[in-house]
Amino acid sequence: MPSESELTAALTLSATQRMAILKALGEPRRLEIIERLSHTDQSSACTDLRACMPIAAATLSHHLKELESAGLIHITREGKFARLTLRREIWQAFLTDLGRL
C-alpha cells in the first residue's frame, strides 16, 4: 500500500483544478474553514463549524459547496446533518504545485 507522501507525489492537479482551488481560497471565510478543518484528522460536524463562525447557515452552505467543488473538502451527508473532511491529498498536491512555480 503506498504511503500518503507517495500518493501526493503521484497526484498532479490540472490547471483547471488549480484555478478552482485558487478561486475558492480567494474568499477569506473559505480559507478560515480550511484552517479549522486542518486542525483535526477526523471529520468535523458542519454544526460545530457554524457554531464558531458568525455567518448565516445559507452562507456557510455556499462556502462549503465552493470548497467541495474545488476538491478541497469531502462532505458526508447523514440525513440532514453533514460531516466535513479536509482532503489532505488534494491540499498537499496543491501546495506541491505552488512550490514548483
Q: For residues 53 and 45, is the Cβ–Cβ distance under 8 A?
A: no
- In which residue ranges of the chain is pLDDT below 70? 1-10
Extract the C-alpha cell encoding 71. Answer: 476538491
Say what the pTM is: 0.84
Mean pLDDT of the chain: 88
Report all structural domains of the chain as residue ranges with CATH numbers, in order of start: 13-99 (1.10.10.10)
What's residue 10's pLDDT? 60
What's residue 40's pLDDT? 86
Instruction: Report which of 59, 56, 55, 50 is spatially closest to residue 82, judged by C-alpha positions.
Output: 50
How far, in Å, CA of 1 to CA of 9, rounded?
Answer: 14
Q: Which residues of 46-75 are buried (b: 16+ CB within 10 A; e: fewer)?
A: beebbeeeeeeeeebeebbebbeebbbbee
